[in-house]
Structure formats: C-alpha cells, structure tokens
A and B are shown apart, each in its own frame.
Chain A
Amino acid sequence: MSALAELGSLGKKSRGGRPNVKRTYKDNRAAMVFLAPWIVGLVAITVGPMLISLYLSFTDYNLIQDPNWIGTDNFTRMMQDDRFWNSLRVTLTYVIVGVPLQLGLALAVAMALDKGLKGLPFYRSVFYLPSLLGSSVAVAILWKQMFGTSGLVNQLLAMVGITGPGWISDPSTALGSIILLHVWTFGSPMIIFLAGLRQIPGMYYEAAAVDGAGRATRFLKITLPLLSPIIFFNLVLQIIGAFQSFTQAFIVSGGTGGPSDSTMFFTLYLYQRGFGQFDMGYASAMAWVLLVIVGVFTAINFYASKFWVFYDD
C-alpha cells in the first residue's frame, strides 16, 4: 500500500473506532526506546524549526540582529513584490506543464513496455537512468551547454538547416528547456506505472476483446480506471516534488533566475532572499506560502480524486 493510501486509511479507521473499550498498550516503554531518535528528529529538526519559521515570518531578521516583530509586513510586502508573483508564475507553469507531460510520457512508455516485450530490462534501464541522474549538478551543466546558442541542440538542428534560438538565453524558451529536463526524467513514474499495469488481471482484457472492445475502449474502460489510484499517487508526489525544484534552474541560470527572471523559480527566489540577502523573515514567509500552496494543491487533488480515482476493493 502506498504512503498516500495509508494516510487515507488512517482517517477512515479513526471514524469507526471503539471509544469505550479501554486499550492497554503493552510495548509503550520499548517503543519509546526504538522511536527515540525519530522523536528527537521530529521535534528538533522538523516541527520545532517549522514553528520557528512561522514565527520568523512575522519578523525582520538578518541573522545578526535579534528578530524584530513586524506583524504581517512580510506578507504585505510580498503582495506588492512583482518578483514574488513572477516566481510563483514561473513555478506554476513548470508544475502545470511539466508534470502532466512527464506523467503522460511515463504512462505511454510503460504501456509500450508492458506486453511481455523482448529486451524489457534493457529498455527499462535506459529510460530509467535519466531520472536517477537528472537532479544532479552535472546534468544541469550538460543542459546549460546543450541549450546554449551554439550548444548540442543547435548543432544538431544546423545539420538539417535550422538555425535554433539561444534556448536558455532567450526568456521565451529558457523555462521550456528546464521543463524538458523534467520531462526527460519520466523513468521513475514509468517504473511505478509498469508495476501497476502488472496488477491488472489479463482476463479483463480477454473478456473485453471477446465482447469486441477495441484498443481505445480497452484503454479507457479497463486500463485507466484500474490504474487511476497509481496515476493519482504519481500526480500528488510529482506535484509536491516539482514545486520544490531548484538545482536545474539554479545551475542553468548561474544562480540568477535569468534571463529576465524567466527561470526564477519560487525556491530560487526564496534562496536569494534568504541566503543571498539574509532576509530570513521574508524567506520564512515565502516558505510558509509555499507550504500552503502545496497543501492546497494536494487537498484539491485529494478532493478531485473522488470523481476519477477508482478503487477496486
């Protein structure tokens, strides 16, 4: 069961609990020993810092002087900050274009690979490898060269007589180059789809074929519904991950988010404000805005899932 499904089932069980039966917990002490590192981590590394960052978001703090309470100033400044809105737009574009493209490709390739294909392990490895390497600085450097004015892409285009633009130096194509890098890493959702396709009983397809259902019908009426929990799972995780993208934009733009802020991701702007200008209050406020946005997206996803995700149990 996936992490998401577990989270969902936790909620369900609590509603049907037995409030009157007094439980005895036989392993309380042992559990505290086994969980001690995790509990310390949860408090000191996760929850504590979260609360502190919530507090800092209402302060003016530069790491040297003590934090100074300024109420909601950071948030009102943010509302008037064009670069903030721009970074939000860039990140949303990246998420809304990049994630569906990546998942669509992952599903298409997974379906092509699923039919007891010869050489499946080879194809799977080749398609999967980029998603392991894609988050590295080295690949971002490669991308910077490839999509430069006289980079690999334009060299190849020149061979067929096309003069390509300077992809990453042109504000209208720079973000697209980075989205392409994201799409290139479709291998890991592909592996999840492959595993999911294996779970669909072959008799469904046989029965449908007997009834004269064509390819499209079989895909729409069998594959999609039965795969929908996995599509949902991929969607939620990839969206959360894509909102946090940082390395590629940072390296490709040399840390500037340029040209003309066209690759100024939300996280990159947050980094510049926090760790470039040491405006920690503003950076904390931005981090909380990010958390809320990611939370809202996830909540919408969960809500919408009621209408399209099909559980076969």
Chain B
Amino acid sequence: MTTESAPRITTDATPPVPGPVRERRPASTTITRRAGYAPSPRQRAKSVLKHAVLIAAAIIMIYPLLWMIASSFRPSADVFRAPGLWLTEVHTENYATGWNALTSPFGTYLLNSALVVLGAVIGNLVSCSLAAYAFARLDFRGKKWMFGAMLVTIMLPIHVVIVPQYILFSQIGWVNTFAPLIVPKFLATDAFFIFLMVQFIRGIPRELDEAARIDGAGHPRIFLQVILPLMTPALATTTIFTFIWTWSDFFGQLIYLTSPDVFTVPVALRSFVDAQSSTDWGAMFAMSVVSLLPVFIAFLVGQKFLVKGIATTGIK
C-alpha cells in the first residue's frame, strides 16, 4: 500500500512537495514479491519476523515519550517508581501545579512562543519567496556568486555571528523583546527555505510565465498571480518547518530573552529545571508534554510536507 510518490533527490526539475505525479513502485519490491505469485511459507515467516523486529524497535523508540506522558498523569513520586505505562488512576494535578509553578502562568509562555512563531513564519514566507523568485526566474548580474553565497550561509554555524548580533541588538534596545527572533526572518536569513523554494519554482513550467508576460504582466504580477499560487506546497513545507524549529529553538531564545515576562516555552521550561532542582518531576513532565503538543499536532497535520521537504532538500 505504498502509493505515496517517492520524492526525488537527484533531479532538480521535480517540485519537492506532493504533486499529481504518481511515482513508480519502490524499486526493490520486484525481487522479493513478484505480482501473481503467492508468498511461500518461508517468505511469510520471514515477513512476520521482520515485522516483529520493527515493531519492537518502534516501541523502544517511542517508549520514552509515552512514558513521559503516562508519568505526567501520576503523583510526582511515582516518576521514580513506575517504569510502566499503565495508569491505575489519572491524576491531573501535575498540570495545575506546573501551569502555575513559575512567575507567570504557563499560558503566558505559550502565547509568547506563539507570537515569535507567527512572526517567524510570516517573515520566512515573505522574504524567502521573494528571494527564491529572483534566483529561480530572473536574469541578473552576480546571480551565480549570490546564489553560491546563499547556499554557503545555509551551512554557516550560528555562533560566528551571534556575538556581534547580540551586541547590535542590545545597543538598539532589542534584548528582552521578540524583535531579534523575528526581524532577521523578514531578511531571509533562513536561507535554507530560499533553496527549498528555488527548487520548487524551477519545477513550474516557464510557459506559464511567458503567457502572463504576453498578457502584459510584469515580474511583480507574475510572482503574485502565477508563481505564488502554484507554490503553495513549498509554502506549506516552509510554514511547518519554521513552526517546529522556532517553537523548539533554544539557543537564540536563551540569549535574547532573560526577563521572565518575555520567556518563551523553551526558556520557561529551562528555568523550571533550574528553579526546581529538588524537583517536582510530575509537574515538569506535564509542562513538557504541553510544550511538545503543538509540535506533535504540526507533525500529524503536515507529515506529508515534512517528509517531502526533508527528502528533497535533506534538512534535519
């Protein structure tokens, strides 16, 4: 039942996100299972064994997360006594305790994180799509080295720029605001998404541009009315990745947000660990589960885009 289209890595003409094209069946199926032949008992035994191993591996992988969820519904002391997943009774008091354990209710931090994420998503969508259109469709001087520079910045460690950036932002009074986390996104500093969108736009037939041009459209109109509507899958991938990465980003938020009223979720969780070193693990787990919930929902909703996005561009 693997009907999803296989993402391509080596061709640059294919949009990185789901399209109408159905790909061929996974290549190696032809050896183990030929159409029209029923599997022999030996093959069936092998297949059962394989599923057993894979299911065991899947359980090991996912067990810590399930256990954290289970533990968040237990009295705090049980965190160190109950390695199983069964709940004899459901305790929700960890959620109440955790919600109010810090200077502000946890809702404040969720809201702060949501604001940062919203700003980052809009910034990336606007700035990266503009730049991607230029790289994919326009003919201009210095294109080659600019494109190269863009690719190199994808791989640049953030630490080489963080110190002067911090100095810059602290001098203009942006420390303890969300601006240092949002404004750079409006300047297309997440070059990775430019690359993703360039790849996608290259897969859109140029004839569509030409037709619009004959009708008298300039580049702004071609971008807004032809390209942008066609690249919604790439925009969706960008939205979901920006959402998940910004929601989980710790380093930047740790550096720029030091006052509790502007804490985002990761920084708040961290202060939770520090404040409670003796420790209410149940409450901490409860808030950890709350903090992972949006990422998990984004994963469920956008799985298709995440998988295509990674497969075509190879991000973490």
Chain A residues close to B by CB (< 8 Å): 1-3, 5-7, 10, 13-14, 25-28, 30-32, 34-38, 40-42, 44-46, 48-50, 52-53, 56, 63, 109, 112-121, 123-133, 135-139, 141-146, 150-152, 155-156, 159, 184, 188, 191-192, 194-202, 205-206, 209, 229-230, 233-234, 237-238, 240-241, 243-244, 246-247, 250-251, 254-255, 267, 270-271, 274-275, 280, 283-284, 286-288, 290-291, 294, 298, 313
Query: Would you call B7 an interface residue if the criterion is a C-beta within 8 Å of the partner chain's C-beta atoms?
Result: yes
- In the bound complex, CA of A215 to CA of B152 (Å): 39
CB distance from A76 to the nearest CB of B (A): 20
Q: Supply 4 further A-B pairs (C-beta < 8 A) apart from A49-B163, A137-B270, A197-B28.
A: A44-B187, A46-B189, A138-B287, A138-B288
Q: Give 24 pairs: A residue, B residue, CB < 8 Å, sorted on A.
A: A6-B195, A10-B144, A34-B138, A42-B153, A56-B163, A116-B25, A125-B303, A133-B296, A136-B247, A139-B292, A142-B64, A142-B68, A192-B314, A202-B29, A205-B30, A237-B315, A240-B155, A241-B316, A246-B250, A267-B251, A270-B159, A274-B162, A286-B159, A290-B159
Q: Are B27 and A201 in contact (CB under 8 A)?
A: yes
Find chain B residues with CB under 8 A from A229 CB: 10
Q: Are A112 and B54 in contact (CB under 8 A)?
A: yes
- In the bound complex, CA of A141 to CA of B277 (Å): 12
Query: Would you call B269 an interface residue if the criterion is a C-beta within 8 Å of the partner chain's C-beta atoms?
Result: yes
Q: Are A126 and B64 in contact (CB under 8 A)?
A: no
Find chain A residues with CB under 8 A from B274 CB: 254-255
- Contacts A1-B12, A28-B140, A135-B248 given: A50-B195 contact, CB under 8 Å? no
Chain B CB within 10 Å — which of A14, A50, A209, A238 has the most?
Answer: A50
Find chain A residues with CB under 8 A from B151 CB: 3, 6-7, 10
Question: Among the listed stretches B114-122, B165-173, B229-237, which one makes contact with chain A, having 4 or more residues with CB under 8 Å of it?
Answer: B165-173
Query: Would you call B214 an interface residue if the criterion is a C-beta within 8 Å of the partner chain's C-beta atoms?
Result: no
Query: Which residue of the partner chain A has the closest CB to B165?
Result: A49
Find chain A residues with CB under 8 A from B10 CB: 1, 5, 199, 229, 313
Q: Are B161 and A46 in contact (CB under 8 A)?
A: yes
Query: Would you call B242 an interface residue if the criterion is a C-beta within 8 Å of the partner chain's C-beta atoms?
Result: no
Q: Are B311 and A290 in contact (CB under 8 A)?
A: no
Annotate B140-180 by CB proximity to A: 1 below 8 A, 0 otherwise: 11011011111111111111111111111010000000000
Query: Would you call B301 an interface residue if the criterion is a C-beta within 8 Å of the partner chain's C-beta atoms?
Result: no
CB distance from A181 to the nearest CB of B (A): 10
Interface of chain B, main secondary structure: helix
Query: Which residue of the partner chain B has the closest CB to A27?
Result: B138
Query: Which residue of the partner chain B has the closest CB to A236?
Result: B155
Q: Are B165 and A294 in contact (CB under 8 A)?
A: no
- Contacts A1-B12, A27-B140, A124-B307 given: A198-B26 contact, CB under 8 Å? yes
Find chain B residues with CB under 8 A from A238 CB: 316
Chain B CB within 10 Å — which of A2, A38, A41, A49 has the most?
Answer: A38
Q: Are A130 and B61 in contact (CB under 8 A)?
A: yes
CB distance from B66 to the nearest CB of A (A): 11
Chain B residues close to A by CB (< 8 Å): 1-2, 4, 6-12, 23, 25-33, 50-51, 53-54, 57-58, 61-62, 64-65, 67-68, 79-83, 126-127, 130-131, 133-134, 138-141, 143-144, 146-168, 170, 184, 186-189, 191, 194-195, 199, 218-219, 223, 244, 247-248, 250-251, 254-255, 265-266, 269-270, 273-274, 277, 281, 284-285, 287-289, 291-292, 295-296, 299, 303, 306-307, 310-316
Find chain B residues with CB under 8 A from A255 CB: 274
Find chain B residues with CB under 8 A from A283 CB: 163
Give which listed residue, B130, B152, B244, contacts A35 with CB less than 8 A.
B130
Query: Which residue of the partner chain B has the closest CB to A28?
Result: B140
Find chain A residues with CB under 8 A from B248 CB: 133, 135-137
CB distance from B293 to the nearest CB of A (A): 10
Find chain A residues with CB under 8 A from B289 CB: 138
CB distance from A288 to the nearest CB of B (A): 7
Give which listed residue, B25, B186, B189, B277, contacts A254 with CB less than 8 A.
B277
- In the bound complex, CA of A130 to CA of B68 (Å): 13
Q: Are B292 and A138 in contact (CB under 8 A)?
A: yes
Query: Which residue of the partner chain B has the closest CB to A201?
Result: B27
Query: Which residue of the partner chain A has the closest CB to B50?
Result: A112
- Contacts A152-B83, A192-B310 given: A209-B31 contact, CB under 8 Å? yes
